[in-house]
Structure 1
């Protein structure tokens, strides 16, 4: 009997967005959807915003959904944070 262990990747990074330092939490579950990260961040009112980023040929892209503009403007920065973290694994 062979047992295969896969690790979940979870990390937090601070990123300046819309003039404020915001905490973005990233989580990648190993399973059916290998190229998918769940990301959450808190807005100015304290509401948690959840969204997904999917691996594409050009990098990690936000899955199309209604989100505040300041998240869309930081898509490239979020891609860079994910790529930087994945280098460690």
Structure 2
């Protein structure tokens, strides 16, 4: 019986979005059974938690959802950079 292992990496980064520093929480799932997926969560100005996923594609990490606040979509390159830094 062959055991397959996966990495589960969690980290937090402060990223400036919508004119202020926000705490983004990342959880990266690297498993042979699923594509590289990183879930990200952050709170909005009202304290509501926004959760979205980023998937690794040929061009790098991309936000998987379309209906998100603009200040999240505008930071896709920043998210990609911090994910790559942490998983190396």
TM-score between both structures, scaled by the size of structure 1: 0.87
Q: Which residue does 1:84 correspond to in 2?
A: 85
1:1-89 mapped onto 2 (5 Å cutoff): 3-31=3-31, 32-87=33-88
Deviates more, 1:37-46 or 1:26-35: 26-35
Give 1 or 2: higher strand fraction: 2
Q: Distance in 1 between matches of 2:4 and 2:19?
A: 44
Q: What RMSD, in angstroms, separates the aligned Cα atoms of the two structures?
A: 1.5
Q: Which has the higher contact order (CA 8 A, sep 6+)?
A: 2
Q: Distance in 2 between matches of 1:61 and 1:5?
A: 24
TM-score between both structures, scaled by the size of structure 2: 0.88
Q: Distance in 2 between matches of 1:16 and 1:34?
A: 28
Contact 2:35 2:55 (C-alpha < 8 Å) held by counterparts = no
Post-superposition offset of 1:79: 0.3
Gaps of 5+ in 2: none
